Amino acid sequence: MNRAARSVGREENGKPKGELRLPEGISIEDVQAELDRILASATFARTERLSRLLRFVVTRTIDGQGEQLKEYLLGVEVFDRKQSYDPRIDPIVRVDAARLRSKLREYYEKEGRDDAILIDFNKGSYIPAFQKAGPRVSESAPIRLASRPFPDWKSRVLLLLVVVLGGFICWTVALYRRNSSLERQLESSRPAARLQEFEPIWGHFLSTGAENFVVFGSPVFFSSQQHSLFLRFAGVNDPTNLLNDPKFRLLQERFGPLSEPHFDYAEMGDAIAVQRLTAFFGRAGITLTALPAHQASWEAIKDGNLIFLGAPRMNPLLQHLPIQQDFEWGPDHNIYNRHPQPGEQPVYATPSHRDAL
């Protein structure tokens, strides 16, 4: 079924802008009012950057400039990137666009569930779509079936089936109630403030209103068409500095031209940790946003609480933290003593890597 739509022409300084097509029954004023409701909601209360992104794309769209909403423009206009901004290296627009879609779903599931207009984004597009909220599904009237006489033996079989089915339903309900009662008893027997045990370590994450992020390592892989190989070099992990990395140039000299970086792998330990952290925060009713290292940037996560998983060599952001450690686990799997005291070795080889020294 084709949706009725109407075109709205806009002009500025006597020059016509692009054409905006709105569904029948929706005006620009309606869209603006819905935008104001969303931005004033509790869901968007502490999302300054997401609010700025939403206001920008909606305003540009109702001004007839929706076709201009590309990743580069948003990076420069919304996220204050320089003219040299390269979306292939800095993923902040894609990351925040995904977060914005998630926030809009959360809003319409809670505060905006009765709104008459919906603002949404098609996947892969930064142009917002406007539509009327559909009618809620109501319970239909019960269907009455006309009865007809059955032969005696059929009536008896039917009666027996009804009795058996009724007994099964009663047994199921009784079992469900018993299990629910046992669960409540078990829950009441636990300490009321179970999460208080974790207060010394996780208290800040559990009590503040800031968004919680967990950034896990994403090793860099390349493919060589010349040799039909899928390659990883342990020392090459920062996709933003490949061209200046002598190890990357060494790879190219040996294997020929390499494809753009692939991030198709995560370490098993990181994956397990993300699952367990998500479950832990979920029990406290707190959302944890997981990001692979290649999609994380300081600009995107600077206002949140941060958890980093994996070694710094697989998490480039960690390489820039101002942290000095006495001992570090090196990329060659040996332990380096950065400040050796008298009588201490500068390098401690692990059993399987003694020959590397």
Q: At what angle do helices 199-207 and 268-283 cross, to 10 degrees?
A: 70
Half-sphere exposure of residue 331, counting CA atoms within 13 Å on the CB side?
11
Contact criterion met (CB below 8 Å) for 289 and 213: yes
**Distance of alpha carbon 87 from the chain centroid:** 18
Say if strands 20-23 and 5-8 run parallel, antiparallel, or are unpaired. Answer: antiparallel
Task: Break the chain into its structural domains and give their ranges.
Answer: 5-132, 207-356
> What predicted TM-score, i.e. pTM, was given to this entire model?
0.43
One digit per residue, the tens of pLDDT, for the chain of length 357 reads 334 444 455 544 444 455 677 888 888 898 899 999 999 999 898 888 899 999 999 999 988 888 889 999 998 999 989 999 888 888 888 888 888 889 999 999 989 888 988 998 887 889 998 888 866 444 444 444 444 554 566 677 788 888 888 888 888 888 888 777 766 665 554 443 456 677 777 777 877 678 889 988 888 888 877 777 777 777 677 766 777 778 788 888 888 888 777 777 778 888 898 898 888 888 878 888 888 888 888 888 888 888 888 777 777 777 777 666 677 777 777 888 888 889 888 888 766 544 444
DSSP string computed for 118-160 = EEEE-TT--SEEEEEPPPPP-PPPPPPPPP----HHHHHHHHH
DSSP string computed for 306-325 = EEE-S-GGG-GGGGGS----
Cα-Cα end-to-end distance for the chain: 72
